[in-house]
Amino acid sequence: MTAISEQCASKVRGIYSRNDASHDMDHILRVLQNARAIMDGMQGIDRTAVELAVYLHDIDDPKYKTAGSPSAADLLEELDVANSLASHVLAIIRSVSFSGGNETAIESREAAVVRDADRLDAIGAVGIARAFAYGGAKGRKLYDAAESARVAMSEEEYRTKQTATVTHFHEKLFLLKDLMVTERGRQLAEERHGFMAAFLRQLEQETGEKL
């Protein structure tokens, strides 16, 4: 890890400590681990840009952003990051969010790495845990057999409707495997996707509901 990445990590740790367990510093560190696994063997990747984007990618998340808190751009300026690198990092961050399927196009290999790394943390065992942690923090139902998953929605609809956590599986989590853009990301997503499917089958068996 570069010195600038370490400095960035120190700056964001306190900010993420205010979030619930679905988007805390542990999430950031897991995404970093995923990014390194994806980058392993890839040539010509700007690892500093990837590391900075990972550390900063949830700083401006509207679910957690509070008045007066620094933006990702503010933190890059505080770190005295060169303008060209800062612009690259911010472009990577813009491409990460799912936004109800209204995602921004990927413009670089670094963006592909960070997007896949973040999405890997949304699926599998950790993804299940994060989904229920977030749902619990927001007072959402575990599941609702009468609720239908939306197949098309605006970003605003995606962010504002209080759907049950299992509905979120169908609206986002089960879609992510086929949205991976790196070869390694696709490989890692397969097993995690399978684990989620097995979990849902077990949940249906225990509840007697079709979810």
Q: Which domains does the chain have, with CATH numbers?
A: 3-207 (1.10.3210.50)
Q: Mean pLDDT across the stretch 118-147?
A: 97
Pairwise CA distance, residues 76 & 89, whole Å:
9
Quote the tokens at residue 117.
């790394």
pTM: 0.93
Distinct helix (H) and strand (E) counts, the chain: 10, 0
Q: What is the pLDDT of residues 135-177, one digit of tens each?
A: 999 999 999 999 988 887 777 777 677 899 999 999 999 999 9
Lookup result for tokens 């681990």: 33
Cα–Cα distance, 19 to 16 (Å, whole number): 5
Is residue 105 exposed (0-12), middle (13-18) or buried (19+ Cβ within 10 Å)?
exposed
Nearest Cα residue to 34 out of 96, 87, 94, 79:
96
Give tens-digit pLDDT for 58-106: 999 999 988 889 999 999 999 999 999 999 999 999 999 886 656 788 9
Rounded to whole angstroms, the Cα distance separating 168 from 184 reads: 25
